[in-house]
Structure formats: C-alpha cells, structure tokens
Structure 1
Amino acid sequence: MSEAPLRFDGHVAIITGSGRGLGREYALLLSRLGAAVVTNSTTASTAETTVKEIINAGGKASAHVGSVADLINNAGGADAVDFDQAYDSQLWDMLGVHVGGSWNITQAAWPYMKRQNFGRIIMTASHMIFGGAQQSTYGAAKMAVIGMAKALAIEGK
C-alpha cells in the first residue's frame, strides 16, 4: 500500500523567524511542497532573501494573506546567563519573543482557521525544556509555548 505524498497545494503558510536557520528551512520545504509562504524576520533583508530563494526554486511567496492553513511559530533566540546573574528584564524579553510573539500571530491566524474549520499550528520548542545550564529564561519561555500549544489543541477541536 503506497501513501499519497504530503502536499500543501493551495495552502498559505506563515512561518515566523523564516529569514534564517530552521525557519528558513521550514519556508523552503513548505514551498517545495506547494504552499504559498509568508516569511517573517526581524530584518527585512533576511526575509527577502528567503523569498528570493523560494521564487528561484519555482515556489510561491505571498505578501497578502486571504486565508491561513499553516502557521509555524519559530521566531526566537536564546540568552546564556547564569540564573543568579539573570535580570527580570531578560526573562520578560525572552517571554515576549517566544510566548508573546507566538500569542500575537496565532491570535491573528485563529479566526481564519476557525472559519475554514481547518488549520495547523506548530510551536517550535527545544530540548532545553528539560533543563540546561544558563538556560533558565529560555527553558521557561519554551515550556510556556508548549502549554499554549496544548491548550490550543484542546480549544481548537
């Protein structure tokens, strides 16, 4: 028995942090699988580079979203800091990027997904949820993202 190939034809996929790294790879992959990709990055030049790569490979990049089928919350970063040296502001900054960013874009996409009775949301986490030296702020943010994902999975049914 052969399985149908995984395709995203007709889907609009938003990928945060898609200017480089893992987000860029997600964008290129979904484009190859047929999705029109909306890129997002903290710098316009890295997002534009990803868009050019998508188009040069024969894919579609979209600046306008009429619907959203797939959302990958990937944007973020990490700060290595000893717990006893960390400032509150470092925690709030980390939560703002990982949790706040995921919250904001997901809240914007949620009505589209509800209306069409379909949508996939991926929250990028890390093995640091299990702990790691100098990763208390990052680990806390990623655990919060996982909690949000679990709540949305239940609410979205």
Structure 2
Amino acid sequence: MGLNERVKNEINNIKNNISLFCNECDANASCGGNHVYVIELMPEASSHFSSKTENEFVYVGETGKHIAERLEDNFKTKINKNGDLVFIRKGKNVNKIRKFFYRMRPDLIPKGLNPLPDRETAEFEEAKLADSLREKGYRVGGPSLKKIKNKIIL
C-alpha cells in the first residue's frame, strides 16, 4: 500500500509542470480555486467501462485542492485501531484510481479552464469535460451532464 513509484513520479511531474494544470497555482501551493483533472488509467481497467472504443481509459475529477495534493490523497494510508495499514480515502472511484492509475493527462484539460471559482462550477465543468471526452471515444469514469441537468449554473 502507499505511494508507489509511478505515483511519486507523477506528483513530482505535476509540481514541476503545474502551469499545464493551472496558471495560478505554484509548485507547492494551490491558488485556492477549484480544479478539473484527468487521470489515464491502465488498459486493465476495461472491465469497469461499458464503452468498447480503442481509446484510453480516463477518469475525470474535480478538487478544491492542488492537483498534486489531490492525487497524493488517493494513496495516503494510516494504521487503523486493529493495527492494519489502510487507505484513508474510501469509495468506488478512488479504489479504481488506486488500482489502475497510469498517469495524469493535462493535455485533455482545455487550456485556461483551471482555476474555477467554486465547487458548483467545477462539478459542471467536470461533467462537461467527461461528456466531451466520451464523444471523442474515450472510455470515461466520471460524471455526465445528463446526471446533473437539474443544477443551474449561471
């Protein structure tokens, strides 16, 4: 468990190239805005997606944190009361990210998208980007505008 070498390298890559993700964050500190990000998953993730295209498997997410911090959070562990090493974050999506993480894909984030002013806007843009990538043939884990169509974004 814990941070494997691929994840550690990717966290360093994010910090060294933060402008690919957000022009207002710096290497070690968030700008305070919300961010949309894309993670490419390993091909072994195919059983978790209904799309049968040949494109990559990706997960689209959003966070109010620095993108490197968000990725690191997915892999943080602690010792529980029984003395077992366990992951701190729980959930279906984070389990898939831990199991199938390959690399971050800042090239799939529209230039200038980040930072976003608030979580509601970030959730909308997250779903919009996920749908856009689906239309381009990617196998996408993440929300869809169809599921948040009742939310109003001004």
Scaled by the length of structure 1, the TM-score of the pair is: 0.32
Larger of the two Rg values belongs to structure: 1
- Whichever structure has more helix as a proportion of its residues is 1
Higher RCO (Cα < 8 Å, 6 or more apart):
2
